[in-house]
Structure 1
């Protein structure tokens, strides 16, 4: 049994089922180790990663009201492991809940569009949680620490929060958006040493990558260099899009900044599951562009 028999409607998002498949793997491994039940929302659609609203706010709200309604049908909080999905879904949920009181006609418009497609209406009865918030706020750090079988002593981890997790929503009950500590507290709970560095709460550069590639890679390179200078053995991120820019594109980043980096970038579920004794192979640590062997060597 888990401390609270935790159960969530699971929204994996797109990237974890494609380019970052190891995030999907490691989330499954982590929740199984913690006896957290995930009910995957197989009918959910892409949240739009913030791009839908560039064409239409109504489009973003309607698409994500449908996603939120799928979780509401199960009477479960919606859980995601993607900061971008958290930011978009959480912000839409906040906006629609506010509209229920201040502009109910707008919510009726959204639900009217859902009804035309045979979808359940958005009721505003649910909650959107990133897996980080679930670990800190629901499972609890003491309970997590009690599950550790492989202490990460000696491993210096730098958190890279990114943008969406901290600043997309107006109300975040689990952390301070300007001076967050939740990831560092998780690191301590699993025996790792937190490393603080400039840029840990800034943008990784991913949103710029398609039209300002050099600037995007310069941003990413600066963050990685700052983490290395602070003594980090790895960066740990709660966002697969940050992971793509910091890990998958790190060789290209090196060319742009003219400097060798070679810093492993871990997904948050990978790090925590390692401490719970899950094998590196099961966590997909061999799928990374930048080898994670230096991290694993520290744990031997």
Structure 2
């Protein structure tokens, strides 16, 4: 049990409030079960998903300096549950912290734009942290293991990290970006069996999907088939954009590669919450495009 309540300024992001609403539900459920306090940043804006910098690096930095400043006002770390949000906001935070000494004129320019819009200044006084690393580094694997009420030993889980989580930031203190183990360690903590396969640290293809759809779906299909070939019952991802390409678009992926897949794709907090005894219905496991029923049947659980 944690001796002190963990608190975070919760940045839900766009996708978890829209196409992947179940991610928000399950993040809140995990926090409640583990006694973690989330203060939602309701005034936060979209991180830009890496597209703002195509027009202007200053735009991406200023928008996300504002997001980070909202967490700084609360004196709390900014918590994401999206690999892409973590990569974008975390990289901005790194760059702006470095600019305090290396490019003070640029740092002042960003804060000048924030002041012009009546926003709080960015101070560089907090941390941007993904839910995965909050669970592993702050709450602790052993503590999670103690809270498990429904061991998931019947299923084989294949992690899909998402490229932004591993490679967008220069400093990744909580895992090895080339040989990560954080997801697999969580799988073991909740009793599930980790499956290793080549695609787990690669891009899902989502960034290509708007202009090279066939290539994007071939990438997703390769990863899904690779996981299946290595014995996975499901893929688990800490990124809702990866979830969209691997789950929501799996029927289209199947058409492109000419093969039936049918591999369920879970959000990380959904998996953890199942082990903590939260019902599948409360976690939105009936909202997925690819049915999660095979996984729930193996676990002795079904959406009502």
TM-score range, shorter chain: over 0.9
CA deviation digits over 1:249-274, x for unaligned, max 9? 00000000000000000000000000
Q: Equivalent residue for 1:272?
A: 272
Q: Equivalent residue for 1:263?
A: 263
Report if aligned partners of 1:152, 1:299 keep a CA contact under 8 Å in 2. Answer: yes
CA deviation digits over 1:77-129, x for unaligned, max 9? 00010010000000000000000010011010000000011001000001000
Matches within 5 A, 1:180-199: 180-199=180-199
CA deviation digits over 1:39-77, x for unaligned, max 9? 000000000000000000000000000000000000000
Q: Equivalent residue for 1:105?
A: 105
Q: Equivalent residue for 1:69?
A: 69
Distance (whole Å) between structure 1 residues aligned to residue 4 and residue 247 of structure 2: 35
In the superposition, the TM-score normalised over structure 1's length comes to: 0.99
Q: Equivalent residue for 1:241?
A: 241
Q: Equivalent residue for 1:202?
A: 202
Deviation at 1:2, TM superposition (A): 3.6
CA deviation digits over 1:190-228, x for unaligned, max 9? 000000011100000000000000000000000000000
Distance (whole Å) between structure 2 residues aligned to residue 110 and residue 191 of structure 1: 46
Q: Equivalent residue for 1:176?
A: 176
Report if aligned partners of 1:159, 1:237 keep a CA contact under 8 Å in 2. Answer: yes
Deviation at 1:3, TM superposition (A): 4.0
In the superposition, the TM-score normalised over structure 2's length comes to: 0.98
Matches within 5 A, 1:34-53: 34-53=34-53
Distance (whole Å) between structure 1 residues aligned to residue 239 and residue 160 of structure 2: 9
Report if aligned partners of 1:240, 1:267 keep a CA contact under 8 Å in 2. Answer: yes
What's the C-alpha RMSD, in Å, of the aligned pairs? 0.6
Q: Equivalent residue for 1:212?
A: 212
- In structure 1, stretches of 5+ residues that fail to align are none
Deviation at 1:35, TM superposition (A): 0.7
State the SS of the aligned residue for 2:22. Answer: helix
1:285 aligns with 2:285: yes
Q: Equivalent residue for 2:298?
A: 298
- In structure 2, stretches of 5+ residues that fail to align are none
Matches within 5 A, 1:66-145: 66-145=66-145
Q: Equivalent residue for 2:157?
A: 157
CA deviation digits over 1:128-182, x for unaligned, max 9? 0000000000000000000000000121000001100000000011000000000
Report if aligned partners of 1:45, 1:67 keep a CA contact under 8 Å in 2. Answer: yes
What is the total number of aligned residue pairs between the two structures?
A: 300
Distance (whole Å) between structure 2 residues aligned to residue 123 and residue 30 of structure 1: 30
Distance (whole Å) between structure 1 residues aligned to residue 3 and residue 200 of structure 2: 31
Deviation at 1:287, TM superposition (A): 0.1
Report if aligned partners of 1:3, 1:139 keep a CA contact under 8 Å in 2. Answer: no
State the SS of the aligned residue for 1:199. Answer: helix
